[in-house]
A and B are shown apart, each in its own frame.
Chain A
């Protein structure tokens, strides 16, 4: 087990593609860090540089106290779980798990013991003699995990390991990965484009955009204090609503918007911070028309059109309020629900 340190890590592909533009990050020993960001933002590239599958254009990478920039993947003492699992199709599950141990010259009894333990932990004991193609998606996923953990590496690297599973299995495996990591306490770096997966799995999240870090923090820090409009829009579903300050002021504001930080011209409001009943605290009042009602079981999403504006806006309420499409809706927002941003820099202006 070890910490992972990234200092000014950069990756430039030939043809001037700057996939990763200078990442500084410290992953503590035993920590579960999730790299999250939209497709093409350089998550895989960054992870593959840590794994040693991609050369590092610039910067320093340390695993533990060792600088590993020039080391082969095998010498970095890491294990990786691939998106497509990358199981060896011509080997049985047992041999898939044993392959890395054999290559490292483990004794036969040791291999046997470790494979059995890993198989038991992942509940794949019954398939040890099967070939991967005779397994379901979820079982393959487990084997891929097993192959990573038999070696007891210093760190696990995951590249969107759940994206090939159906929704239900994905939730189940998410929980299992989390529990497994808690139990083994192995430093983990996990890549995903799914913000919910990121929120639920990570001790800390790193939000990546266009090869750069937008924000680092615990899931709740990031959710309650997004550092930029990008993060605000990316984390949380439905996405945060962005309303221009000028528009709100024109609606009459009770002086609520007078003490916004300097430079604020947009405020973000989470869909669940828009209330249909007036709160006791000082609040804004906005009129809108319900364009679309989306019932999602325990909660409902109300897609509304604001009066005198074409800003798409969504409200989340629990249960199913008695409203009909086309009806006029008045909603209320308190001061502490406002996230102040500057639309030019895209950054948060205060709080």
Chain B
């Protein structure tokens, strides 16, 4: 394949054009990342007067710390729950909308709206809906005999943040699933129906396998989202509680560093998060290279 090459007069222009991006990356990513790396090897005393170099001790401590291990498993539950819920709902909605003809664009527009809402607002919205004293859902649950209270039930709190986080991500997943579904030729579905496959069977043997590239891409995106982009949702609903039940890794970095002022530990946690995000990104890139798996 032939690639198009632009040539510029002089050597200065390309660098000038690149500069803004490089500067932004340096200031807002490389520099803080370097700071975090450096900090993670230091310990600061409670008054911020003295710092000592402690090597990897911050990391070792973290993995002996019950609250950190708890946060790891909370994050896992939260990420898996959010990803599964939002992807399942999005796929369900996308397959339904894909079958519509006239009202398709209306539904698409409506379904995309949640994505435009700020995470903090999404959190507040769900906090209202699930509010134990004034919310509609607890009221209805009460009628079937369940007392919803995310203020003291850890599992209720976890469900609340999963709902809020998944709800916001459904739009994104929906768009990708819809695009994926629309790229499957109608004649394949028709051939399968002539071949005697029921709608359910067609979904699992034809449509779902052909959506694999989209599904895999979204899987990574959603895990990344749940792990890193949900700070505001947690902050505005449960603030990590009750009893650390929703204290996911990113939230803990903030709580330990800015509230607890344990900068060394907080920095070490950031470094671990960085490693995770790099790993996920690499998985994603490897996959994009081989997008088509059939």
Query: How far apart sit A90 and B205, CA to CA, in the bound complex (Å)?
Result: 10
B195 neighbours in A (Cβ, 8 Å) = 74, 99-100, 103, 147
> Which of A72, A103, A147 is within 8 Å of B201, CB to CB?
A103
A73 touches B193 (CB 8 A): yes
Interface of B is mostly: helix
> Does B239 interact with chain A (Cβ within 8 Å)?
no
B185 touches A84 (CB 8 A): yes
> Which of A51, A84, A89, A99 is within 8 Å of B192, CB to CB?
A99
A213 neighbours in B (Cβ, 8 Å) = none
A201 neighbours in B (Cβ, 8 Å) = none
A293 neighbours in B (Cβ, 8 Å) = none
| Nearest chain A CB to B191 CB, angstrom units | 4
> Which of A51, A82, A103 is within 8 Å of B196, CB to CB?
A103
A230 neighbours in B (Cβ, 8 Å) = none
Contacting B at CB under 8 A, from A66-115, are 72-74, 78-80, 82-84, 86-90, 99-100, 103-104
A79 touches B197 (CB 8 A): no
> Does B188 interact with chain A (Cβ within 8 Å)?
yes
> Does B194 interact with chain A (Cβ within 8 Å)?
yes
A220 neighbours in B (Cβ, 8 Å) = none
B193 touches A72 (CB 8 A): yes
| Nearest chain A CB to B283 CB, angstrom units | 21
Query: How far apart sit A133 and B193, CA to CA, in the bound complex (Å)?
Result: 22
> Does B209 interact with chain A (Cβ within 8 Å)?
yes
Contacting A at CB under 8 A, from B170-206, are 185, 187-188, 190-197, 201, 205-206
Please give me the residue from chain B that is nearest to A103 by CB atom. B196
| Nearest chain A CB to B208 CB, angstrom units | 10
| Nearest chain B CB to A91 CB, angstrom units | 8
A21 neighbours in B (Cβ, 8 Å) = none
Known: A82-B187, A84-B185, A88-B188. A73 touches B194 (CB 8 A): yes
Query: How far apart sit A88 and B202, CA to CA, in the bound complex (Å)?
Result: 11
> Does B129 interact with chain A (Cβ within 8 Å)?
no
Query: How far apart sit A166 and B294, CA to CA, in the bound complex (Å)?
Result: 26
> Does B272 interact with chain A (Cβ within 8 Å)?
no
> Which of A73, A104, A147 is within 8 Å of B190, CB to CB?
A73
> Which of B185, B190, B201, B294 is within 8 Å of A53, CB to CB?
B190
Query: How far apart sit A78 and B205, CA to CA, in the bound complex (Å)?
Result: 21
> Which of B185, B197, B210, B294 is within 8 Å of A103, CB to CB?
B197
Residue of B196, B197, B201, B210 most packed against chain A (CB within 10 A): B196
A82 touches B191 (CB 8 A): yes
Known: A90-B209, A90-B294, A131-B294. A100 touches B187 (CB 8 A): no
B196 touches A90 (CB 8 A): no
| Nearest chain B CB to A114 CB, angstrom units | 14
Query: How far apart sit A51 and B195, CA to CA, in the bound complex (Å)?
Result: 11
Query: How far apart sit A327 and B269, CA to CA, in the bound complex (Å)?
Result: 94
Please report the total number of A residues contacting B with Cβ < 8 Å: 24
Please give me the residue from chain A that is nearest to B202 by CB atom. A103
Query: How far apart sit A72 and B199, CA to CA, in the bound complex (Å)?
Result: 11
A99 neighbours in B (Cβ, 8 Å) = 192, 195, 197, 205
Query: How far apart sit A20 and B188, CA to CA, in the bound complex (Å)?
Result: 24
A79 touches B294 (CB 8 A): no
Please give me the residue from chain B that is nearest to A79 by CB atom. B194
Please give me the residue from chain B that is nearest to A78 by CB atom. B194
Query: How far apart sit A99 and B209, CA to CA, in the bound complex (Å)?
Result: 14
| Nearest chain B CB to A99 CB, angstrom units | 5
Query: How far apart sit A86 and B209, CA to CA, in the bound complex (Å)?
Result: 15
B192 neighbours in A (Cβ, 8 Å) = 88, 99
| Nearest chain B CB to A134 CB, angstrom units | 11
A73 neighbours in B (Cβ, 8 Å) = 190, 193-194
Query: How far apart sit A83 and B206, CA to CA, in the bound complex (Å)?
Result: 19
> Which of A72, A78, A86, A131 is within 8 Å of B191, CB to CB?
A86
A84 touches B194 (CB 8 A): no
B196 touches A74 (CB 8 A): yes
Query: How far apart sit A84 and B190, CA to CA, in the bound complex (Å)?
Result: 12
| Nearest chain B CB to A81 CB, angstrom units | 9
> Which of A52, A79, A83, A86 is within 8 Å of B188, CB to CB?
A86
Query: How far apart sit A82 and B185, CA to CA, in the bound complex (Å)?
Result: 12
Known: A103-B201, A131-B294. A86 touches B187 (CB 8 A): yes
B194 neighbours in A (Cβ, 8 Å) = 51-53, 73-74, 78-80, 100
Query: How far apart sit A86 and B192, CA to CA, in the bound complex (Å)?
Result: 9
A80 touches B191 (CB 8 A): yes
B196 neighbours in A (Cβ, 8 Å) = 74, 100, 103-104
Please give me the residue from chain B that is nearest to A51 by CB atom. B194
| Nearest chain B CB to A127 CB, angstrom units | 16
| Nearest chain A CB to B262 CB, angstrom units | 51
Query: How far apart sit A299 and B212, CA to CA, in the bound complex (Å)?
Result: 55
Query: How far apart sit A80 and B194, CA to CA, in the bound complex (Å)?
Result: 8
| Nearest chain B CB to A247 CB, angstrom units | 49
| Nearest chain A CB to B240 CB, angstrom units | 43
Please give me the residue from chain A that is nearest to B195 by CB atom. A100
B190 touches A86 (CB 8 A): yes
A82 neighbours in B (Cβ, 8 Å) = 187, 190-191
23 contacts between A and B (CB under 8 A): A53-B190, A53-B194, A73-B194, A74-B196, A74-B197, A82-B187, A82-B190, A83-B187, A84-B185, A86-B185, A86-B187, A87-B191, A88-B206, A89-B188, A89-B210, A90-B209, A90-B210, A90-B293, A99-B192, A99-B197, A99-B205, A103-B195, A103-B197
Nearest 7 interchain pairs by C-beta? A100-B195, A90-B294, A103-B196, A86-B187, A74-B196, A86-B191, A73-B194
Beyond A86-B190, A89-B188, A100-B195, 11 additional pairs, beta carbon < 8 A: A51-B194, A72-B193, A74-B193, A74-B194, A78-B194, A80-B194, A86-B187, A88-B192, A90-B209, A100-B196, A133-B294
